[in-house]
Amino acid sequence: MLTLQFIPYIDIEVLGSPERVEKLLKVVKENKIILLEGKLRPREEADLIRRTMEEINDNFKGIEISPINVHRKEDLAFFRKVKSVLINFLLGDRQGLTIIGPATVVKEIKADPDKIQLLTEDGSHKKKR
Amino acid sequence: MINVFKKFLNLFFKDLFLEKGEVKLGLYGPPNGGKTTLANKICVDWIGEEMGRASKVAHETREVQIKEQITIKRDSKELTFSLVDTPGIATKIDYEEFLKAGMKEVEAKSRAKEATKGVIDAIKWLDDMDCVIVVLDGTKDPYTQVNITIIGNLEARKIPVLLVANKMDLKKSDIKHVQAAFPQYEVIGISAKTGEGVDVFYEKLFELRSKAFKNKRR
């Protein structure tokens, strides 16, 4: 059975970087796919990869991680870029969603600003707008 | 007081070595992008011997490899650096992929275990780099989480970066794809295997060293 767990940013906001990484890794190792509000900082992403490597065994092969940004800055016209920079300034790491899942459960994560398509090992897929 | 004096000496001599061109240049990127092939190309061109073993099976490089005192000469310029070839960074490692490549189970599991240690080391070594070449497979989608994480971490650490789109000898390669994925970075196209574009690459190393030197001076 596929379990999605939504983690609001407020749940990790008060945690230090090591604690954030441990919390996310713990959930993924329970075979759940995390929908994280916001995104990790680059160093936290690197730490998550490092800690994932330390946990890999016959049952846990690693993770798939995919941030879903509202827009990539390069794609925006000028005023939308300004708006994006302002939103980024105000909301920072809280923007967007990050999907993190165990590699054995999530066959492929494709992120698209308009729809999320999740493919799982059993071949079923769900599309959500 | 002694610690303050030690720190001062450290800073002074570190700057002195950087002025003389002593730079730690890292090769980073996802597995199978061609980092070791490029490392071998550089080493063969300038010191006459290869650095490591490359193969089509991912995670061939599973330990950080260092070659010190490589000197590149262009016109009247010289650049001396230590070349650091790192294991490819991945978010997952499955020994079953190595079984598909024809390995036996014991060997595949051992390789997977070594590969995980390699990724850990590669991440740890990020802090020690003065500048980094990110080697991307020019035939594959460059906008992956691993690539974003590597480049994001280099930016966060203020380490100068040059992106290299490798495998330009292959028909499927597309440097524009890489440039579009990371428009804020300079991207050059090369083939580490055939040597195409490597002259331009060597020129860019001098620019990279200058940026590393400016960063250290701040």
Determine contact, residues B88/B29, Cβ cutoff 8 Å. Answer: yes
Query: Who has greater pLDDT, A67 or B202?
Result: B202
Classify residue B104 as exposed, middle or buried by CB count within 10 Å of its CB (0-12, 13-18, 19+): exposed
Query: Who has greater pLDDT, B213 or B66?
Result: B66
- Comparing C-alpha atoms, which of B170, B172, B153, B171 is closest to residue B161? B153
Q: In this predicted structure, which of A32-36, B139-143, B154-158, B210-214 has the lowest mean pLDDT?
A: B210-214
Q: If pLDDT is split at 50, 70 and 90, which confidence band does B75 have?
A: confident
Nearest by CB to residue B123, choosing from A49, A64, A66, is: A49
Domain limits of chain A?
Answer: 3-128
**pLDDT greater than 70 at residue B7:** no
**pLDDT greater than 80 at residue A2:** no
What distance in Å separates residue B71's CA from the closest CA in chain A? 31
Cβ contact, residue pair A103, B119, below 8 Å:
no
**Which residues in chain A have Cβ-Cβ distances shorter than 8 Å to B149?**
42, 45-46, 49
Cβ contact, residue pair A67, B153, below 8 Å:
no
**Which residues in chain B have Cβ-Cβ distances shorter than 8 Å to A61?**
92-94
Mean pLDDT over the full length of chain B: 88
State which residue of chain A sits closest to B126, comparing Cα positions: A46
Q: In this predicted structure, which of A61-75, B69-83, B141-155 has the lowest mean pLDDT?
A: A61-75
Residue with structure tokens 């509202």?
A: A70
State which residue of chain B sits closest to A47, comparing Cα positions: B123
> Distance between CA atoms of B198 and B190, rounded to whole angstroms?
6
Determine the pLDDT at residue A115: 44
Element (H, E) at B212: helix B198-217
The structure's pTM equals 0.82
**pLDDT greater than 80 at residue A125:** no
Cβ contact, residue pair A43, B149, below 8 Å:
no
- CATH 3.40.50.300 is held by the domain B22-217: yes
End-to-end CA separation in angstroms for chain A = 22
Nearest by CB to residue B145, choosing from A53, A61, A66, is: A66
**pLDDT greater than 70 at residue A113:** no
Cβ contact, residue pair B91, A54, below 8 Å:
no
Beta-ladder partners of A37: A97
**pLDDT greater than 70 at residue B93:** yes
What distance in Å separates residue B182's CA from the closest CA in chain A? 9
Determine the pLDDT at residue A127: 46
Nearest by CB to residue B120, choosing from A50, A63, A74, is: A50
**What is the interface pTM, i.e. ipTM, of the complex?**
0.84
Cβ contact, residue pair A53, B153, below 8 Å:
no
Q: Which two tokens stand for residue B118?
A: 């390699």
Q: Is B173 left (phi over 0), alpha (psi -120 to 50) or beta?
A: beta
The pLDDT tens digits for B10-21 are: 555 554 544 445
Average pLDDT over residues B61-66: 89
Determine the pLDDT at residue A69: 65
Average pLDDT over residues B139-144: 92
Query: Who has greater pLDDT, B98 or A81?
Result: B98
